[in-house]
Structure 1
């Protein structure tokens, strides 16, 4: 028999705040976290805007000696994870650490560390490359460091599926608990890709917005004038538990995960195929044991790219039929920007807050709707209304799709 899986803790580092309540307050007020990037390194790039993290409270959780040995993405992930454990009221001396795992990753890993050490290699030679280069740069080290910090000895690995990374991490963690292999798992993602190399690559693909003069209006999912996504950095981490395990601990229950669907387009390295996304949503709904008409809200992948938003709209229509025009769909990336591998972690938390507060988050900057995007995207202002079940969509380059179904607790 499948066991119930609940969320008992959440933690966030983002351009809209470095704790969940600050993030949520900004989301419900339609605040954009996108700002100019003023570093000289970006002067020759066509995109000079991003969702950067400010006032980052690293020292609260990581001592100064450790900080020097952590890539920026790892720092973000550790802080978000510690917040999640605090909210979940985890007593590390009492919890059975053999039954607690860590499924947390990054889409890009330690990009800053790779670039810094490559520069050292070219300018000063191989003997000057840091002995911490490898452990600082590899994707799985965030999970490894968190395991060392917490003592969690259950399963630990890092999924990497571009923009679907966090959703896959959360979904696989859900499966691990639902089928009885673990009692709790720390899961989500972290990303730090605000650097010239990543910007240059995405710019050559013409995937990023170049609305440098109006950064707060640059991320505009489903709007006819959208011209690409806006890169952001940060982390979103959740603590998942088996229901009885959480109740017995007296943990706060923030919401329940009831389904997970994962598919692959097998179509194109970057262009989406809406049928892959629709199958992932159908699987999440089917495995949740609900009908499509039971879904009240979808936190869309909604990246603000010309093809991606149309494809996702098609997928929603295929899955929900007439109900597609009755439910609400919104993209919080219009405010947070796109956190790549960490996007699904933050969006899962936003979805949980939506359920908890009966608030549909807005899609800001939706002023001139694309005729091909004709659903209710909660344009520009948050709306209150009863929300019992919601989906959070994540779709990544390579055709990776992962959808999580959440239920109000």
Structure 2
């Protein structure tokens, strides 16, 4: 009897569809879903050159060209690092898009799942500067609360009255993908009904750029600065850092339909896997395992994918490893499934990267197009063997799409979304 009951519960969990009912975005290529779509269709880049006397050379980067202090009170601002501000605002946008006033009526059946690399890093670095230059020896009371890595998740849960699980993920570049996967697992298991899930990052400071420059990983400024990020290209010189925040409202299909919420798409599958290899260099086995797990959860074959948004950071060591992983997973479909890397436009948003690239996949589903890898006119032979979408977008129906993120430390996150029109 117990076995029958367990099998019934497992079957119910598998059958739960996870709907995306809300979208919020603040990014270098748009502050709304519509403006991001326009940038993707036009291959419009948010990358520009940045110079500072504190740095050894100019760097390309992709900032959000806006300040948000007016969105908060004078009492609130000292507690809010820029990363936290972006998280709050994108989560609020997603909540409003989902038609939710706040989450208090859901009780403990709602959760927040947040991904970031540095969290309140700018607040921490400013306090460190003050301490070592002798300006101050004791911090203001708000500094600790401003620089916590989980500050974004906490502030969202407080402001949105979320009483269920609040989790923060810091798995480097796959952080928001891990957060979204965690939210999906908890919805499918029946632990919660609805979640705010995504990520945020705002670390474009000279001290952070200088630290990354120490890795010899950052790109040179291209003669046309907006073209400095060139994934898969023979001319690529390294990654370009960006900032921003993307959040989704996720809920069980039953829950969404009960409150008559519009459904943008479904998260059909997810996979998390580790390389077990090196703290700073990727290995294809972890990427392969993550993608296969996501496809298995989605219940589809790799050949059924209509689009893949690649992690592709435009680094010499990273891009070829990912292409090898893609070829292994796709098999005979490697030359037919379109692949592109939109970091060429919005750059590497670190803790928000997975969520941003999942948004690209959702937009591809909803608007029937394949975004291009911008500035890719000369494919590196080491990155050949897959169906690159170059230069300009293509009009094409998209039913299933997958994004892949590969983080430092070897944590990989793959997410599969499917069109709501398939049902």
Alignment CA distance shift 1:19-1:59 (3 Å): farther
**Partners of 2:248 and 2:69 in 1: CA distance:** 18
One of 50, 54, 60 as aligned partner of 1:37? 50
CA contact (8 A) 1:47 1:212 kept: no
The yes-or-no answer on 1:323 pairing with 2:336 is no
What is the aligned partner in structure 2 of residue 122 from structure 1? 132
Q: Secondary structure at the match of 1:74?
A: helix
What is the aligned partner in structure 2 of residue 145 from structure 1? 155
User: 1:234-282 CA distances to partner (integer Å, 9 max, x unpaired)?
Assistant: 1111110010101111111010011111100000111111121011101
The yes-or-no answer on 1:28 pairing with 2:38 is no
**Partners of 2:228 and 2:308 in 1: CA distance:** 22
The yes-or-no answer on 1:383 pairing with 2:400 is no
* Cα displacement (A) at 1:96: 1.1
User: 1:18-57 CA distances to partner (integer Å, 9 max, x unpaired)?
Assistant: 1121111111110110012144433x2x342210111345
Superposition TM-score, scaled by structure 2 size = 0.93
The yes-or-no answer on 1:15 pairing with 2:28 is yes
User: 1:105-159 CA distances to partner (integer Å, 9 max, x unpaired)?
Assistant: 3111112111110111123365442211111111111111111101111100101
**Partners of 1:48 and 1:321 in 2: CA distance:** 38
**Partners of 1:351 and 1:59 in 2: CA distance:** 32
What is the aligned partner in structure 2 of residue 253 from structure 1? 263
One of 347, 355, 359 as aligned partner of 1:337? 347
Structure 2 residues without counterparts, runs of 5 or longer? 1-11
One of 91, 97, 109 as aligned partner of 2:101? 91
Q: Secondary structure at the match of 1:306?
A: coil
**Partners of 1:13 and 1:235 in 2: CA distance:** 5
What is the aligned partner in structure 2 of residue 188 from structure 1? 198
* Cα displacement (A) at 1:214: 2.8
The yes-or-no answer on 1:167 pairing with 2:177 is yes
**Partners of 1:215 and 1:177 in 2: CA distance:** 43
Q: Which moved more, 1:365-374 or 1:327-336?
A: 365-374
Matches within 5 A, 1:142-291: 142-211=152-221, 213-291=223-301
Q: Secondary structure at the match of 2:381?
A: coil
CA contact (8 A) 1:117 1:130 kept: no
* Cα displacement (A) at 1:168: 0.3
Alignment CA distance shift 1:93-1:152 (3 Å): closer
One of 33, 53, 63 as aligned partner of 1:52? 63
**Partners of 1:244 and 1:103 in 2: CA distance:** 21
Superposition TM-score, scaled by structure 1 size = 0.96
One of 378, 382, 388 as aligned partner of 1:372? 382
CA contact (8 A) 2:95 2:102 kept: no
**Partners of 1:47 and 1:381 in 2: CA distance:** 28
Q: Secondary structure at the match of 1:224?
A: coil
**Partners of 1:95 and 1:37 in 2: CA distance:** 46
